[in-house]
Amino acid sequence: MNVPPRDREEFWIRFVCAFLFFGFLAALLIIRFIDALGIAQGLGLWAVVVVSVSLYAAKVGDQAWHNIIESIRWW
């Protein structure tokens, strides 16, 4: 996989967009299972998932979105 170099501004734009998008999706899923998880575990899981996916999207770029969409289609 050949990834072109990115500047700092592009990294943060990608990170924030992914954070907002997946933060919303993860919040919807966590709210659904909050009774089973508990608030502390739910927030911890939300934070880990959202930051991980956001960093992945910021580092890899467009290919990350293609990989995520393909994994959702499979699931």
Top-ranked range on mean pLDDT: pick from 30-39, 53-62, 63-72: 53-62
> Does residue 8 have a pLDDT over 90?
no
2 within a domain of the structure (yes/no): no
67 within a domain of the structure (yes/no): yes
| Number of structural domains the chain divides into | 1
Residue found by looking up tokens 């909050």 in the block:
34
42 within a domain of the structure (yes/no): yes
d(CA 39, CA 53): 21
pTM metric for this prediction: 0.78
Angle subtended by helix axes 62-74 and 39-60, to nearest 10: 130
38 within a domain of the structure (yes/no): yes
Give pLDDT tens digits for 43-53. Answer: 999 999 999 99
Range of the domain at 59: 8-74
Burial readout 39-71 (b: 16 or more C-beta within 10 A, e: otherwise)? eeebeeebeebbeebbbbbbebbeebbeebeee
